[in-house]
């Protein structure tokens, strides 16, 4: 089964954003860390697609609607933690870290920047760090964002200043990075990935 089909079968919106087009180009990770659990759809999809991968999901609060088999340090493991400051090294053997880190958390640029600063040192050499659902304020323009991004509770989070903080955090890693823009396929304003590759 293709990754796109698995995403759809699991009710994961990564298919609607066309992110499978990127993920299918990567080799399977040994360890995968995903920030942002919601109802566990993407964790379920990763488990089906990567049966031998160690998978950890994290969110800032306990998700009541996750299936019963989503238990702490099970497979996938789900932990309550703030990705901007928590010590995720405690979940890995000494000298090990995730090969993939996926930030599918709040989607707010300042949170994405803080999460990157916190988790980048944990990423294994040769690993891939993916920031999902990036709102490209630099392309769209702050005054031309869809209304949802300009209303409470999102108001003030999707500004050019916030986006520049994310850009500076990406640049500070010194890593090679790419932008994958799927907005023309999805029709969604935030179908953009920022991908960093650790040497």
Q: What is the pLDDT of residues 153-169, one digit of tens each?
A: 777 899 999 999 999 99
Secondary structure element (H or E) that encloses residue 57, with its range? strand 54-59
| Least-confidence region, from 18-22, 67-71, 86-90 | 67-71
What's this model's pTM, rounded to 2 decimal places? Answer: 0.93
| pLDDT for 155 | 77
Taking the C-alpha atoms of residue 9 and residue 51, their distance in angstroms, rounded to an integer, is 16
What is the average per-residue pLDDT within 88-95?
91
Q: Is the pLDDT of residue 70 over 70?
A: no
Mention every residue, 6+ apart, whose C-beta is less than 8 A from residue 3: 20, 23, 24, 45, 49
Question: Whole domain around residue 22: which residue ranges?
Answer: 3-197
What is the average per-residue pLDDT within 75-103?
91
| pLDDT for 72 | 45
pLDDT tens track for 109-139: 999 999 999 999 999 999 999 999 999 999 9
| pLDDT for 31 | 95
CATH number, domain containing residue 180: 3.40.50.150
Q: Is the pLDDT of residue 71 over 50?
A: no
| pLDDT for 77 | 82
What is the average per-residue pLDDT within 174-187?
97
> Cis ω on the peptide bond leading into residue 178 (within 30° of 0)?
no
Q: Which among 100, 101, 108, 168 is positioned nearest to 134, based on CA atoms?
A: 108
Secondary structure element (H or E) that encloses residue 181, with its range? strand 176-181
What is the average per-residue pLDDT within 9-17?
96
Domain total in the chain:
1
What is the average per-residue pLDDT within 173-195?
97
């Amino acid at each position: 089964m293709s990754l796109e089909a698995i995403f759809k079968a699991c009710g994961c919106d990564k298919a609607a954003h066309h992110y499978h087009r990127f993920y299918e180009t990567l080799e399977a990770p040994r360890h995968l860390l995903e920030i942002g659990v919601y109802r566990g759809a993407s964790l379920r999809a990763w488990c089906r697609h990567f049966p031998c991968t160690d998978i950890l999901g994290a969110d800032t609060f306990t998700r009541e609607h996750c299936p019963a088999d989503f238990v702490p340090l099970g497979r996938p493991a789900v932990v309550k933690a703030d990705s901007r400051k928590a010590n995720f090294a405690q979940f890995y053997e000494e000298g090990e870290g995730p090969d993939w880190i996926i930030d599918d958390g709040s989607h707010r640029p300042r949170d994405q920047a803080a999460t990157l600063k916190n988790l980048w040192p944990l990423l294994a050499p040769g690993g891939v760090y993916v920031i999902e659902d990036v709102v490209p304020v630099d392309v769209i323009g702050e005054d031309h964002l869809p209304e949802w991004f300009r209303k409470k509770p999102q108001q003030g989070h999707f500004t050019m200043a916030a986006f520049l903080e994310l850009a500076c955090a990406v640049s500070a890693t010194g890593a090679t990075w790419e932008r994958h823009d799927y907005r023309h396929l999805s029709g969604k304003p935030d179908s953009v990935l920022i991908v960093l590759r650790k040497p």
